[in-house]
Amino acid sequence: MNLLHWRLLVAVADGGNISRAAARVGITQSGASQAIAQLEGMLGFQVFARERRHIGLTALGEQVIEHARAMLVRLDAIRVLADDSRGLSGGRIRLACFPSVMSTLLPGLLRDFQRRHPGIEVVALEGTDEEVEDWLAAGTVELGVVLNPAPGRATVLLGRDAWVAVLPTSHPLGRRASASGVSLAELATLPFILATGGCATNAQRLMQQAGLHLSDVRVTVRDWASACVLVREGIGVAVVPESTLPAELRGLRVMPLAPAIHREFGLVCSPAGTASRPVQALLAELARTGDLATPGHR
């Protein structure tokens, strides 16, 4: 059993729920259930008492959790000591990001980093992609997640995902095979839900880059999820990043664009970030642990 599993036990004890505890420590629910079963098998007794709507602790389980909490507290103390020796404790990182990555990829990355470095404070600021660039240029933040970074720009790539068309299930274009996809030209003249996601690079920009024009924008929204709701209601079609699709696709037909179009996003340092030890520690952690991800449909 590793430290992640001990953190899982404490999270289950705190919340009385395996799925929420799994999300908190960054593993799947099935992985969490398996880890708990393995630990209980190794111990030879049950740590948790399963009830219909709640998971409680057995008498022995309470003692196990008490020891686990003490172990994790001491581990954090060791990490603070290590950060002190490197001049990292008491440091702060201001990180700016646009909404779609702020809500999907960043929480897990920052949670894991702060678990390993409890003495470093990370302050996350949400803004449009243009605001993020402005904050980096002005030195307001040490780090920023930028969209489609220019070639040659010093960037730590965080992810890459495809733009997809979202149609009502009854739409004629959705009847073709998914492999054939749908072109921007076919979408440009249809009733359209324009979602921006707080980014200048959205369906309208994609159309412009292809020499096309959205001729029938019915609604403009900031939130990707709102666009999918409106598509489900038959108001129009939309183009969104694949990573922002809702978990429930009932009533929606998702089609790849043909030809495919992708977006990339990565971490960029401001001059202040380049000179910051905590920032460089975060970038080193990402590189060492392989915590970089390409989000896909959840």
| pLDDT band (50, 70, 90) for residue 289 | low
Give the residue extent of every domain in the chain. Answer: 3-85, 92-157+265-289, 161-263
Q: Average pLDDT, stretch 242-264? A: 92
Give the CATH architecture of domain 161-263: 3-Layer(aba) Sandwich (3.40)
Q: CA 166 to CA 194: how far, in whole Å?
A: 11
Same fold, 3-85 and 161-263: no
| CATH classification (class only), 92-157+265-289 | alpha beta
Q: How many of the other CB atoms lie within 10 Å of CB of 103? A: 15
Say if residue 4's pLDDT is above 60: yes
More confident residue, 278 or 238: 238
Q: Which of 3-12, 51-60, 82-91, 253-262 comes out lowest in average pLDDT?
A: 82-91
Which amino acid is residue 297, in one-letter code? H
Sort strands 217-221 and 252-256 into parallel, antiparallel or unpaired: unpaired
Q: Average pLDDT, stretch 236-263? A: 93
pLDDT tens-digit readout, 29-38? 888 888 888 8
End-to-end CA distance of the chain: 27
The half-sphere exposure of 266 on its side-chain side, counting CA atoms within 13 A, is 16
Best CA proximity match to 57, nearest among 16, 6, 29? 16
CATH of domain 3-85: 1.10.10.10
pLDDT tens-digit readout, 93-119? 889 988 777 667 777 777 777 777 777
Predicted local confidence at residue 114, as pLDDT: 75
